[in-house]
Amino acid sequence: MQQERCGWAMSDTVEQVYHDKEWGVPSRDEQYLFEMLNLEGAQAGLSWRLILTKRPAYKEAFHQFDPDKCARMTDEELEHIRETAAIVKNKLKIGGVRKNAIAFLKVQAEFGSFANYIWGYSDGKPIINHWTDMSQMPAKNDLSERISKDLKKRGFIFVGPVIIYSYLQAIGMIDDHVITCPYHTENRN
């Protein structure tokens, strides 16, 4: 059987590169965990392709997603980003990066790292699904519901259960590559 990448990443180079190099690959890198949390939130109501194409502008605007620097951003800096950066201009989403940075730093202080916190939900191991078709993949699950609820209590925003499910896929805590995809955990060399 010929292996083909997941259907959502078949037609666009930006999505293909993200799919092949990042999606479903376990990460415990703090800056990456913070970046993906905010990019997934920025995507709410929009296409992931749009966010991926704007990713370099997001990284430039938000100090490469350094949570310490983002937590100290002023209202003026955030407004300047809204006016000038080539990102989604939603004021709540832009301000959400600072709000999430503050909450992220609190989680780091409490758990030693955000990775310890988030990966604790899966005992430090990726959850490897075995979908034969993308249509089997849920938009959310019990785990994303639980994490979403806790993140909201901790002061994070744009962290609903659907966003969090996508986040867990992005950071490799959930491998939702279809089983015929060469990038599924069990097919990688």
Q: What is the pLDDT of residue 11?
A: 79
Please list, residue by residue across 168-183, b when 16 or more beta carbons sit within 10 angstroms of its beta carbon and e when fewer do. Answer: bbbbbbbbbbbbbbeb
What pTM did the predictor assign? 0.95
Residue ranges and CATH numbers for the domains of the chain are 13-187 (1.10.340.30)
What is the rounded average pLDDT for all residues in the chain?
95
Q: If you average pLDDT over residues 18-44, what whole number do you get? A: 97
Between 2-6, 127-131, 173-177, 180-184, the lowest mean confidence (pLDDT) is in 2-6
| pLDDT tens-digit readout, 36-73 | 999 999 999 999 999 999 999 999 999 999 999 999 99
Say how far apart CA 106 and CA 169 lie, in whole Å: 24
Torsion over CA: 65, 20, 116, 145 (sign): positive
- Report, as an integer, the average pLDDT of 93-106: 98
The pLDDT value recorded for residue 142 is: 98
pLDDT at residue 2 is higher than 80: no
pLDDT of 9 strictly over 70 = yes
Task: Please confirm, yes or no, whether 48 is among the known catalytic residues.
Answer: yes
Whether 119 is a known active-site residue: answer no
What does the pLDDT average to over 5-34?
A: 93
- Which of the following is catalytic: 18, 58, 117, 131? 18
- pLDDT tops 60 at residue 30: yes
pLDDT at 152 over 50: yes
* Per-residue model confidence (pLDDT) at position 1: 47
The C-alpha torsion from 146 through 150 and 152 to 156, rounded to 10°, is: -110
Asked if residue 180 has pLDDT above 60, the reply is yes
**Is residue 7's pLDDT more than 90?**
no
Which residues are known binding-site members?
Answer: 6, 19, 177, 181
The reported pLDDT for the residue numbered 189 is: 61
- How do beta strands 174-175 and 127-128 pair? parallel
Annotated binding site for Zn(2+): 6, 19, 177, 181
Say what percent of the chain tops pLDDT 70: 98
pLDDT attached to residue 3: 65
The active-site residue, picked from 15, 23, 35, 48, is 48
Out of 40, 117, 131, 167, which one is annotated catalytic?
40
Average pLDDT value for residue range 14-30: 95
